[in-house]
Amino acid sequence: MAEQQIPPAENQSSSTTPVSLTLLDPDVLECPICCEPLKIPIFQCENGHLACSQCCEKVKKICPSCKSPNGYSRCRAMERVIEACRVSCPNAKYGCKENTSFGNRASHEKQCLFAPCFCPVPLNDCNYVGSDKNLRNHIRAKHKDHVIPIVFDIPLTLVMGSSEKIACFQEKKDGEMFVVQAFRKSYGLVVSVNCIAPSAHGLGRFFCCMDVIIDPSIKLKQAFTVREIQKKIHEEPKDSFMLIPSHMLMLTDWSFGIDICFSRGMDSFIRA
């Protein structure tokens, strides 16, 4: 069940207020072929079966329901309905106040800065989910003793033992959350670094430099862009990680130290 808001038509009085309607079946506003939200232009066959423009091309302009031609006649009535519908963002409960057209709902969701972020602190009884900002406040209020405070461009040493799998960091001033996770494999240890934040921010906000000290004669160094994710990962990462070969770790019983430094922006990262 979904609530749609219908604004007044152009020829109506400006004093007319939008009307809220409840759709018992939101699927009626989706293309019956690809099941994606309908976008203008919308086509119909002679029997009234609808299809979006992309699907008309995919089915070679033959209606899958009745085999009659489709893709030549616009369904203006449905186009007016779609154009008039406004839907609230699914992240409204996390603070987003945006209302978008039904057809552009998916595009907004990908760019929404209020996408839910999950608490990364490894405590079984914490299931907190909230906006990026609220998560930072939650961490400060509930998990102050379970995170490591950091300052951008100032390195610190993290000691990883054979049983350590995750470490959480929080920037002292603005509260950004970073998670370092270790995945033990037969070929070595994969150490990933991510920022808990909506992926809409994109890459390039934060950078990380890691120096791994196996012993005084063996050191590894790697720098990379920190990926932004909404929840900690549970499998081996494909990017933003360092690989420490197993033959090196055998010298220390898989225990080692990491000098790690976080930076905001490329300029600061290069200076560091």
Please tell me the distance from the alpha carbon of residue 30 to that of residue 103, in angstroms, as a whole number. Answer: 9
pLDDT of residue 14: 46
Quick one: tokens of 19? 């009307």
Contact 59, 68 (CB under 8 A): no
**Long-range contacts (CB closer than 8 Å, 24 or more residues apart) made by 48-57:** 50/75, 50/78, 55/31
Domains of the chain in start order, with CATH, are 27-84 (3.30.40.10), 87-115 (no CATH), 144-263 (2.60.210.10)
pLDDT of residue 59: 94
Q: Which of 91-100, 154-163, 172-181 has the lowest mean pLDDT?
A: 154-163
Mean pLDDT to the nearest integer, 72-92: 89
The pTM for the full model equals 0.73
Per residue in 186-213, pLDDT (tens digit) is: 888 888 999 999 987 766 789 999 998 7
